[in-house]
Amino acid sequence: MRIIAGTAKGLRLAPVPGGTRPVSDRAREGLFSSLGDTVVGARVLDLYAGTGAMGIEALSRGAEQAVFVDSGPGAIRTIRLNLAHARMTGRGQVRHQEVRRALRSKLGPFDLALLDPPYALAEEELNRVVSMLDAGRIVRSGGRVVLTRSTKSYIPVIPVDWLVERRLTYGDTVALVLQIP
């Protein structure tokens, strides 16, 4: 895995910790190309961060700051290592927490939330997380939520007032780009 574009372009990331399924380079490239300049200056929330590749890609492309949340100790070590290797430690905050607990801690507001939950995550849990993002005003009005899923896995209930801007498919990965009203 590597960073695709921006100040850290070409940077090879640390090995993926066991139990983590990262978004492919190809899918990240397409997703961030579609987001374009909306990333520049953004405050980013990377939930189920894994290696931190999504949030670090955003930082590399001009995001101001990123908060990385993951419950796995191996993932937390990898994210910290990748931030240090990319020389972005000062722009990233790493939180070793369950996602719902982190969302209850009044994070935000953010301009962009990146959700790459495990494909096997229970439907009820994923619906709760999306509901918390909606109710908690964690993402600013006009901001975006990006949700990645397998083409074969459950897509959660999207709040009725969120706008589905794009549905991008890369191999077996679907990325939904949703705008918050």
Give the pLDDT confidence of 19-38 residue by residue, as tens digits. Answer: 788 888 889 999 999 999 99
Q: Above 80 in pLDDT, residue 136?
A: no
d(CA 5, CA 136): 32
What's this model's pTM, rounded to 2 decimal places?
0.94
Give the pLDDT confidence of 83-106 residue by residue, as tens digits. Answer: 999 999 999 999 999 999 999 998
Query: Looking at domain 25-179, what is its CATH homologous superfamily?
Result: Vaccinia Virus protein VP39 (3.40.50.150)
Q: Above 90 in pLDDT, residue 154?
A: no
Q: Above 80 in pLDDT, residue 135?
A: no
